Amino acid sequence: MLAAMSSDLLSELLPDLLAIALLIAGAAFFSVAEISVAASRRLRLRRLADDGDLRAERVLAVQEQPGHYFTVVQIGLNMVAILGGIVGEGALTPHYAALLSLALPGPQAQTLGFALSFLTITALFIVLADLVPRRLGMNDPERLAMRTVGPMSVLATLLMPLVWAFNGVSNALSRLLGLPQQRDDRVTHHDILALTAAGAQAGAVASEEQQVIENVFELDTRTVETAMTTRERVVYLSMDDDEALIRTRVAEQPHSTYLVCAEGIDEVLGYVDATDLFQRVLLGQPLALRACAESGLVKKVLIVPDRLTLAEMLSQFRSAHEDFAVIVNEYSLVVGVITLNDVMSTVMAAMVGQPDEEQIVRRDDGSFLADGSTPVPDLQRALGIDDWPQPGQYDTLAGFLMVMLRRIPRRTDQVVWEGWRFEVVDVDRHRVDQVMVTRVPAASEAA
Protein backbone atom coordinates (compact mmCIF):
# COMPACT_ATOMS: atom_id res chain seq x y z
CA MET A 1 0.00 0.00 0.00
CA LEU A 2 2.80 2.43 0.99
CA ALA A 3 4.80 1.46 -2.09
CA ALA A 4 1.82 2.13 -4.30
CA MET A 5 1.31 5.57 -2.72
CA SER A 6 4.99 6.45 -3.19
CA SER A 7 4.83 5.34 -6.81
CA ASP A 8 1.73 7.44 -7.41
CA LEU A 9 3.37 10.46 -5.73
CA LEU A 10 6.52 10.10 -7.83
CA SER A 11 4.59 9.73 -11.06
CA GLU A 12 2.57 12.81 -10.13
CA LEU A 13 5.66 14.89 -9.29
CA LEU A 14 7.90 13.65 -12.11
CA PRO A 15 6.66 16.01 -14.86
CA ASP A 16 6.92 19.02 -12.54
CA LEU A 17 10.37 17.98 -11.32
CA LEU A 18 11.55 17.59 -14.90
CA ALA A 19 10.16 21.02 -15.72
CA ILE A 20 11.97 22.53 -12.71
CA ALA A 21 15.20 20.77 -13.73
CA LEU A 22 14.92 22.18 -17.26
CA LEU A 23 14.27 25.67 -15.93
CA ILE A 24 17.30 25.41 -13.62
CA ALA A 25 19.43 24.26 -16.56
CA GLY A 26 18.19 27.21 -18.62
CA ALA A 27 18.98 29.67 -15.83
CA ALA A 28 22.42 28.07 -15.41
CA PHE A 29 23.08 28.54 -19.13
CA PHE A 30 22.22 32.25 -18.94
CA SER A 31 24.38 32.69 -15.81
CA VAL A 32 27.38 31.06 -17.51
CA ALA A 33 26.82 33.12 -20.67
CA GLU A 34 26.76 36.34 -18.65
CA ILE A 35 29.72 35.83 -16.33
CA SER A 36 31.99 34.20 -18.93
CA VAL A 37 31.69 37.12 -21.36
CA ALA A 38 32.18 39.66 -18.57
CA ALA A 39 35.24 37.83 -17.18
CA SER A 40 36.91 36.95 -20.50
CA ARG A 41 40.31 38.59 -20.98
CA ARG A 42 40.51 40.59 -24.16
CA LEU A 43 44.20 39.90 -24.71
CA ARG A 44 43.62 36.14 -24.65
CA LEU A 45 40.56 36.42 -26.89
CA ARG A 46 42.49 38.60 -29.33
CA ARG A 47 45.25 36.01 -29.52
CA LEU A 48 42.68 33.28 -30.25
CA ALA A 49 40.99 35.45 -32.84
CA ASP A 50 44.31 36.17 -34.53
CA ASP A 51 44.84 32.40 -34.72
CA GLY A 52 41.62 32.11 -36.72
CA ASP A 53 39.00 31.28 -34.06
CA LEU A 54 35.80 32.99 -35.24
CA ARG A 55 34.07 32.36 -31.92
CA ALA A 56 36.68 34.46 -30.13
CA GLU A 57 36.05 37.23 -32.65
CA ARG A 58 32.33 37.06 -31.88
CA VAL A 59 32.97 37.28 -28.13
CA LEU A 60 35.17 40.33 -28.72
CA ALA A 61 32.37 41.90 -30.74
CA VAL A 62 29.95 41.26 -27.87
CA GLN A 63 32.35 42.91 -25.42
CA GLU A 64 32.55 45.95 -27.71
CA GLN A 65 28.73 46.24 -27.89
CA PRO A 66 27.34 44.23 -24.95
CA GLY A 67 23.89 45.84 -24.81
CA HIS A 68 21.87 43.31 -26.83
CA TYR A 69 23.70 40.33 -25.36
CA PHE A 70 23.07 41.20 -21.73
CA THR A 71 19.51 42.21 -22.48
CA VAL A 72 18.88 38.67 -23.75
CA VAL A 73 20.55 37.30 -20.61
CA GLN A 74 18.28 39.34 -18.35
CA ILE A 75 15.16 38.43 -20.32
CA GLY A 76 16.06 34.76 -20.09
CA LEU A 77 16.95 34.82 -16.40
CA ASN A 78 13.80 36.67 -15.38
CA MET A 79 11.48 34.55 -17.52
CA VAL A 80 13.03 31.34 -16.19
CA ALA A 81 12.86 32.58 -12.57
CA ILE A 82 9.20 33.53 -12.89
CA LEU A 83 8.32 30.22 -14.55
CA GLY A 84 10.29 28.35 -11.89
CA GLY A 85 8.30 30.04 -9.14
CA ILE A 86 5.01 29.23 -10.84
CA VAL A 87 5.87 25.60 -11.55
CA GLY A 88 7.49 25.04 -8.16
CA GLU A 89 4.60 26.55 -6.22
CA GLY A 90 2.08 24.44 -8.09
CA ALA A 91 4.15 21.27 -7.78
CA LEU A 92 5.42 21.38 -4.22
CA THR A 93 2.97 23.46 -2.18
CA PRO A 94 0.14 20.86 -2.17
CA HIS A 95 2.44 18.09 -1.00
CA TYR A 96 4.09 20.22 1.70
CA ALA A 97 0.61 21.31 2.85
CA ALA A 98 -0.61 17.73 2.93
CA LEU A 99 2.29 16.65 5.14
CA LEU A 100 1.96 19.64 7.45
CA SER A 101 -1.82 19.17 7.78
CA LEU A 102 -1.12 16.08 9.86
CA ALA A 103 0.12 18.39 12.64
CA LEU A 104 -1.31 21.84 11.81
CA PRO A 105 -4.73 23.27 10.97
CA GLY A 106 -5.54 23.55 7.25
CA PRO A 107 -4.92 27.32 6.70
CA GLN A 108 -1.63 27.27 8.60
CA ALA A 109 -0.49 24.13 6.80
CA GLN A 110 -1.28 25.77 3.45
CA THR A 111 0.63 28.96 4.33
CA LEU A 112 3.65 27.13 5.70
CA GLY A 113 3.59 24.73 2.72
CA PHE A 114 3.76 27.69 0.34
CA ALA A 115 6.68 29.17 2.32
CA LEU A 116 8.59 25.85 2.23
CA SER A 117 7.92 25.50 -1.52
CA PHE A 118 9.21 29.04 -2.10
CA LEU A 119 12.36 28.41 -0.03
CA THR A 120 13.03 25.09 -1.80
CA ILE A 121 12.77 26.55 -5.30
CA THR A 122 14.78 29.63 -4.28
CA ALA A 123 17.57 27.50 -2.78
CA LEU A 124 17.72 25.26 -5.86
CA PHE A 125 17.96 28.25 -8.21
CA ILE A 126 20.57 30.07 -6.08
CA VAL A 127 22.88 27.07 -5.84
CA LEU A 128 22.34 25.23 -9.14
CA ALA A 129 21.40 28.12 -11.43
CA ASP A 130 23.58 30.90 -10.05
CA LEU A 131 26.47 30.10 -7.71
CA VAL A 132 27.81 26.92 -9.34
CA PRO A 133 27.47 28.16 -12.96
CA ARG A 134 29.08 31.51 -12.14
CA ARG A 135 31.99 29.77 -10.45
CA LEU A 136 32.45 27.62 -13.54
CA GLY A 137 32.29 30.69 -15.74
CA MET A 138 34.94 32.50 -13.68
CA ASN A 139 37.30 29.52 -13.76
CA ASP A 140 37.39 29.18 -17.55
CA PRO A 141 35.71 32.29 -19.00
CA GLU A 142 37.13 32.35 -22.53
CA ARG A 143 36.27 28.73 -23.39
CA LEU A 144 32.74 28.96 -21.99
CA ALA A 145 32.11 32.35 -23.58
CA MET A 146 33.03 30.95 -27.00
CA ARG A 147 30.70 27.98 -26.45
CA THR A 148 27.69 30.06 -25.39
CA VAL A 149 28.04 32.99 -27.80
CA GLY A 150 26.49 31.02 -30.70
CA PRO A 151 23.25 29.99 -28.95
CA MET A 152 22.98 33.46 -27.42
CA SER A 153 23.20 35.02 -30.87
CA VAL A 154 20.29 32.81 -32.03
CA LEU A 155 18.24 33.86 -29.00
CA ALA A 156 19.08 37.51 -29.65
CA THR A 157 17.70 37.16 -33.17
CA LEU A 158 14.50 35.45 -31.96
CA LEU A 159 13.92 38.00 -29.21
CA MET A 160 14.96 41.03 -31.28
CA PRO A 161 11.71 43.02 -30.82
CA LEU A 162 11.88 42.65 -27.04
CA VAL A 163 15.61 43.40 -27.07
CA TRP A 164 15.09 46.63 -29.03
CA ALA A 165 12.31 47.73 -26.72
CA PHE A 166 14.19 47.05 -23.48
CA ASN A 167 17.45 48.48 -24.84
CA GLY A 168 15.73 51.66 -25.93
CA VAL A 169 14.29 52.19 -22.47
CA SER A 170 17.60 51.39 -20.70
CA ASN A 171 19.62 53.61 -23.05
CA ALA A 172 17.26 56.50 -22.47
CA LEU A 173 17.57 56.08 -18.70
CA SER A 174 21.37 55.79 -18.96
CA ARG A 175 21.61 59.04 -20.92
CA LEU A 176 19.29 60.70 -18.44
CA LEU A 177 21.54 59.62 -15.55
CA GLY A 178 24.75 60.49 -17.42
CA LEU A 179 26.05 56.92 -17.50
CA PRO A 180 28.59 55.80 -20.16
CA GLN A 181 27.10 54.01 -23.15
CA GLN A 182 30.16 51.88 -23.95
CA ARG A 183 32.60 49.84 -21.92
CA ASP A 184 35.95 51.49 -21.25
CA ASP A 185 38.63 48.97 -22.28
CA ARG A 186 41.63 51.26 -22.04
CA VAL A 187 44.59 49.58 -20.36
CA THR A 188 46.35 51.93 -17.95
CA HIS A 189 49.73 51.56 -16.31
CA HIS A 190 47.89 50.81 -13.07
CA ASP A 191 46.33 47.76 -14.77
CA ILE A 192 49.73 46.57 -15.97
CA LEU A 193 51.32 47.06 -12.54
CA ALA A 194 48.44 45.18 -10.92
CA LEU A 195 48.95 42.29 -13.34
CA THR A 196 52.69 42.14 -12.68
CA ALA A 197 52.09 42.28 -8.93
CA ALA A 198 49.66 39.37 -9.24
CA GLY A 199 52.19 37.53 -11.40
CA ALA A 200 54.90 38.10 -8.79
CA GLN A 201 52.66 36.75 -6.04
CA ALA A 202 51.88 33.69 -8.15
CA GLY A 203 55.57 33.15 -8.94
CA ALA A 204 55.15 33.71 -12.70
CA VAL A 205 57.12 36.99 -12.58
CA ALA A 206 60.38 37.39 -10.66
CA SER A 207 60.42 40.18 -8.10
CA GLU A 208 63.33 41.83 -9.94
CA GLU A 209 61.37 41.77 -13.19
CA GLN A 210 58.37 43.31 -11.48
CA GLN A 211 60.60 46.05 -10.07
CA VAL A 212 62.00 46.81 -13.53
CA ILE A 213 58.47 47.21 -14.93
CA GLU A 214 57.53 49.58 -12.09
CA ASN A 215 60.71 51.59 -12.69
CA VAL A 216 59.87 52.00 -16.38
CA PHE A 217 56.54 53.63 -15.52
CA GLU A 218 58.25 55.88 -12.95
CA LEU A 219 60.33 57.49 -15.70
CA ASP A 220 57.40 59.83 -16.35
CA THR A 221 57.28 61.05 -12.74
CA ARG A 222 60.91 61.00 -11.57
CA THR A 223 62.96 64.09 -12.37
CA VAL A 224 66.54 64.12 -13.56
CA GLU A 225 67.64 65.24 -10.11
CA THR A 226 66.83 61.77 -8.73
CA ALA A 227 69.39 60.11 -11.02
CA MET A 228 72.07 62.77 -11.61
CA THR A 229 75.55 63.07 -10.20
CA THR A 230 75.24 66.05 -7.89
CA ARG A 231 77.26 69.22 -8.29
CA GLU A 232 79.70 68.53 -5.45
CA ARG A 233 80.57 65.12 -6.93
CA VAL A 234 81.14 66.30 -10.49
CA VAL A 235 84.75 65.96 -11.65
CA TYR A 236 85.57 68.65 -14.21
CA LEU A 237 88.57 69.99 -16.08
CA SER A 238 89.46 73.59 -16.73
CA MET A 239 90.62 74.89 -20.08
CA ASP A 240 93.79 76.24 -18.47
CA ASP A 241 94.74 73.00 -16.67
CA ASP A 242 98.18 71.83 -17.67
CA GLU A 243 98.87 68.30 -18.93
CA ALA A 244 100.26 67.05 -15.60
CA LEU A 245 97.13 68.17 -13.71
CA ILE A 246 94.84 66.51 -16.28
CA ARG A 247 96.79 63.24 -16.08
CA THR A 248 96.63 63.29 -12.27
CA ARG A 249 92.91 64.06 -12.12
CA VAL A 250 92.01 61.38 -14.66
CA ALA A 251 94.16 58.81 -12.86
CA GLU A 252 92.75 59.62 -9.41
CA GLN A 253 89.10 60.01 -10.46
CA PRO A 254 88.47 57.87 -13.53
CA HIS A 255 85.24 58.53 -15.45
CA SER A 256 84.04 57.99 -18.99
CA THR A 257 83.27 61.70 -19.50
CA TYR A 258 84.68 64.90 -18.02
CA LEU A 259 83.01 68.30 -17.97
CA VAL A 260 85.17 71.15 -19.29
CA CYS A 261 84.74 74.62 -17.77
CA ALA A 262 86.37 78.01 -18.22
CA GLU A 263 87.14 78.50 -14.54
CA GLY A 264 84.36 77.48 -12.14
CA ILE A 265 81.86 74.69 -12.68
CA ASP A 266 79.11 77.15 -13.70
CA GLU A 267 81.10 78.30 -16.76
CA VAL A 268 80.54 75.21 -18.88
CA LEU A 269 82.35 75.04 -22.22
CA GLY A 270 81.82 71.40 -23.21
CA TYR A 271 83.02 67.93 -22.34
CA VAL A 272 85.71 65.43 -23.27
CA ASP A 273 85.55 61.65 -23.55
CA ALA A 274 88.10 59.66 -21.59
CA THR A 275 88.66 57.48 -24.67
CA ASP A 276 89.75 60.55 -26.64
CA LEU A 277 92.21 61.47 -23.90
CA PHE A 278 93.64 57.94 -23.84
CA GLN A 279 93.96 57.96 -27.59
CA ARG A 280 95.99 61.16 -27.48
CA VAL A 281 98.23 59.65 -24.80
CA LEU A 282 98.85 56.55 -26.91
CA LEU A 283 99.64 58.71 -29.95
CA GLY A 284 101.97 60.92 -27.93
CA GLN A 285 99.84 64.03 -28.50
CA PRO A 286 99.46 66.86 -25.94
CA LEU A 287 96.53 66.84 -23.48
CA ALA A 288 96.37 70.56 -22.65
CA LEU A 289 92.77 71.46 -23.55
CA ARG A 290 93.37 75.02 -24.71
CA ALA A 291 96.15 73.84 -27.01
CA CYS A 292 93.77 71.21 -28.42
CA ALA A 293 90.80 73.56 -28.85
CA GLU A 294 90.98 73.36 -32.65
CA SER A 295 91.21 69.56 -32.71
CA GLY A 296 87.63 68.95 -31.64
CA LEU A 297 88.68 67.28 -28.43
CA VAL A 298 86.26 69.43 -26.44
CA LYS A 299 82.72 68.65 -27.62
CA LYS A 300 79.57 70.68 -27.33
CA VAL A 301 77.59 69.61 -24.29
CA LEU A 302 73.82 69.11 -23.96
CA ILE A 303 72.37 71.39 -21.26
CA VAL A 304 68.92 70.65 -19.82
CA PRO A 305 66.74 72.16 -17.06
CA ASP A 306 66.45 70.46 -13.68
CA ARG A 307 62.66 69.95 -13.95
CA LEU A 308 62.83 67.43 -16.79
CA THR A 309 61.53 63.94 -16.10
CA LEU A 310 63.69 60.93 -16.89
CA ALA A 311 61.40 60.06 -19.81
CA GLU A 312 61.95 63.56 -21.23
CA MET A 313 65.67 63.16 -20.64
CA LEU A 314 65.68 60.01 -22.75
CA SER A 315 63.96 61.95 -25.54
CA GLN A 316 66.59 64.68 -25.28
CA PHE A 317 69.40 62.13 -25.52
CA ARG A 318 67.75 60.53 -28.55
CA SER A 319 67.19 63.85 -30.32
CA ALA A 320 70.70 65.17 -29.67
CA HIS A 321 72.43 61.80 -30.27
CA GLU A 322 74.22 62.28 -26.97
CA ASP A 323 74.56 60.26 -23.77
CA PHE A 324 75.85 63.01 -21.46
CA ALA A 325 74.14 66.22 -20.30
CA VAL A 326 74.61 69.05 -17.81
CA ILE A 327 71.64 69.94 -15.59
CA VAL A 328 71.11 73.58 -14.64
CA ASN A 329 68.52 75.33 -12.48
CA GLU A 330 66.47 78.43 -13.23
CA TYR A 331 69.46 80.65 -12.36
CA SER A 332 71.69 78.85 -14.91
CA LEU A 333 73.76 77.31 -12.13
CA VAL A 334 74.95 73.76 -12.61
CA VAL A 335 73.24 71.34 -10.22
CA GLY A 336 74.67 68.13 -11.65
CA VAL A 337 75.36 65.97 -14.67
CA ILE A 338 73.54 62.92 -16.00
CA THR A 339 74.38 60.15 -18.45
CA LEU A 340 72.30 57.66 -20.37
CA ASN A 341 73.69 55.00 -18.06
CA ASP A 342 72.34 56.90 -15.04
CA VAL A 343 68.83 56.85 -16.51
CA MET A 344 68.98 53.18 -17.43
CA SER A 345 70.36 52.31 -14.00
CA THR A 346 67.15 53.61 -12.42
CA VAL A 347 65.26 51.08 -14.54
CA MET A 348 67.59 48.10 -14.18
CA ALA A 349 68.79 48.74 -10.62
CA ALA A 350 66.76 45.82 -9.24
CA MET A 351 68.56 43.39 -11.58
CA VAL A 352 72.09 44.77 -11.74
CA GLY A 353 72.45 46.83 -8.55
CA GLN A 354 74.80 45.62 -5.84
CA PRO A 355 73.80 45.59 -2.16
CA ASP A 356 76.51 48.11 -1.25
CA GLU A 357 75.00 50.54 -3.75
CA GLU A 358 71.54 50.59 -2.18
CA GLN A 359 70.44 53.98 -0.88
CA ILE A 360 67.85 52.57 1.52
CA VAL A 361 68.63 49.43 3.54
CA ARG A 362 66.23 47.49 5.73
CA ARG A 363 67.64 46.57 9.13
CA ASP A 364 66.89 43.44 11.17
CA ASP A 365 64.59 45.33 13.55
CA GLY A 366 62.36 46.52 10.69
CA SER A 367 63.77 50.06 10.53
CA PHE A 368 65.53 51.56 7.50
CA LEU A 369 68.81 53.41 7.08
CA ALA A 370 68.50 55.75 4.10
CA ASP A 371 70.81 58.12 2.27
CA GLY A 372 69.63 61.71 2.14
CA SER A 373 69.69 61.57 -1.66
CA THR A 374 67.25 58.63 -1.79
CA PRO A 375 64.54 59.46 -4.36
CA VAL A 376 61.01 59.77 -3.00
CA PRO A 377 59.65 56.98 -5.29
CA ASP A 378 62.13 54.55 -3.69
CA LEU A 379 60.99 55.63 -0.23
CA GLN A 380 57.38 55.28 -1.27
CA ARG A 381 58.01 51.74 -2.44
CA ALA A 382 59.95 50.70 0.66
CA LEU A 383 57.70 52.33 3.27
CA GLY A 384 54.33 51.99 1.56
CA ILE A 385 53.56 55.72 1.85
CA ASP A 386 51.32 56.92 -0.97
CA ASP A 387 50.63 60.50 0.14
CA TRP A 388 53.52 62.89 0.70
CA PRO A 389 53.15 66.49 1.90
CA GLN A 390 53.50 69.31 -0.63
CA PRO A 391 54.31 67.04 -3.61
CA GLY A 392 56.40 68.53 -6.39
CA GLN A 393 58.55 70.68 -4.10
CA TYR A 394 61.25 68.03 -3.55
CA ASP A 395 62.60 64.86 -5.13
CA THR A 396 64.69 63.28 -2.38
CA LEU A 397 64.53 62.38 1.31
CA ALA A 398 66.70 65.39 2.15
CA GLY A 399 64.31 67.67 0.28
CA PHE A 400 61.35 66.17 2.16
CA LEU A 401 63.06 66.93 5.49
CA MET A 402 63.88 70.50 4.45
CA VAL A 403 60.27 71.15 3.44
CA MET A 404 58.92 69.69 6.68
CA LEU A 405 61.47 71.44 8.95
CA ARG A 406 61.53 74.69 6.92
CA ARG A 407 65.31 74.87 7.44
CA ILE A 408 68.51 72.93 6.80
CA PRO A 409 68.27 69.68 8.80
CA ARG A 410 70.66 69.12 11.67
CA ARG A 411 71.71 65.96 13.41
CA THR A 412 68.96 64.43 15.66
CA ASP A 413 66.22 66.41 13.87
CA GLN A 414 63.05 64.32 13.56
CA VAL A 415 59.96 64.35 11.36
CA VAL A 416 56.98 62.03 11.79
CA TRP A 417 54.81 61.28 8.77
CA GLU A 418 52.26 58.53 8.03
CA GLY A 419 53.37 56.37 10.95
CA TRP A 420 57.12 56.69 10.27
CA ARG A 421 59.78 58.68 12.14
CA PHE A 422 62.58 60.18 10.02
CA GLU A 423 65.59 60.99 12.23
CA VAL A 424 68.71 62.64 10.86
CA VAL A 425 71.72 60.70 12.13
CA ASP A 426 74.55 62.17 10.04
CA VAL A 427 75.09 65.51 8.30
CA ASP A 428 78.14 66.25 6.16
CA ARG A 429 78.45 70.03 6.25
CA HIS A 430 74.99 71.05 4.96
CA ARG A 431 74.27 67.75 3.24
CA VAL A 432 71.95 65.21 4.87
CA ASP A 433 74.01 62.03 4.73
CA GLN A 434 72.10 59.35 6.69
CA VAL A 435 68.53 59.17 8.00
CA MET A 436 67.09 56.51 10.31
CA VAL A 437 63.49 55.62 9.44
CA THR A 438 61.54 53.73 12.12
CA ARG A 439 57.91 52.75 12.58
CA VAL A 440 56.09 54.87 15.14
CA PRO A 441 53.68 53.08 17.52
CA ALA A 442 50.09 54.18 17.04
CA ALA A 443 49.85 55.60 20.59
CA SER A 444 53.04 57.63 20.14
CA GLU A 445 51.86 59.02 16.82
CA ALA A 446 48.53 60.08 18.29
CA ALA A 447 50.29 61.76 21.21
Residues linked to residue 371 through DSSP beta bridges, in sequence order: 434
User: Are 256 and 338 within 8 A, CB to CB?
Assistant: no
* Domain 224-350, CATH class in plain words: alpha beta
- Name the residue among 63, 21, 66 with its Cα closest to residue 41: 63
Q: Give the global pTM.
A: 0.57
CATH label, 354-446, candidates 3.30.450.40, 3.40.47.10, 3.30.465.10, 3.40.190.10: 3.30.465.10
How many angstroms separate the Cα of 228 from the Cα of each of 324, 335, 372, 399? Answer: 11, 9, 14, 15
Distance, in Å, from the CA atom of 152 to the CA atom of 397, rounded to the nearest integer, reads 58
Query: Phi-psi bin for 214: left (phi > 0), alpha (psi -120 to 50), beta?
Result: alpha
Q: Where are the domains of the chain?
A: 13-177, 189-218, 224-350, 354-446
pLDDT, tens digit only, all 447 positions of the chain: 444 445 555 566 677 778 888 888 888 888 888 888 888 888 888 888 888 888 888 888 888 777 778 888 888 888 888 887 777 777 677 777 777 777 777 777 778 877 888 888 888 888 888 888 888 888 888 888 888 888 888 888 888 888 788 777 777 787 788 766 665 666 676 777 777 777 777 777 777 777 788 888 888 888 898 888 888 889 999 988 888 888 898 889 999 899 999 888 999 999 999 898 888 888 888 887 876 666 778 889 999 998 899 999 999 999 999 999 999 998 889 999 999 998 888 887 655 554 445 678 888 888 899 988 888 888 888 888 888 888 878 888 888 999 999 998 999 999 999 889 999 998 887 888 899 999 987 655 544
User: Are 250 and 233 within 8 A, CB to CB?
Assistant: no
Cβ within 8 Å of residue 335, ≥6 positions away: 225, 228, 230, 231, 306, 327, 328, 329
Q: Dihedral (C-alpha) 275, 277, 280, 285: value to the nearest 10 degrees? A: 180
Q: What is the 3-state secondary structure (H, E, C) of 172-219?
A: HHHHHHCCCCCCCCCCCHHHHHHHHHHHHHHCCCCHHHHHHHHHHHHC
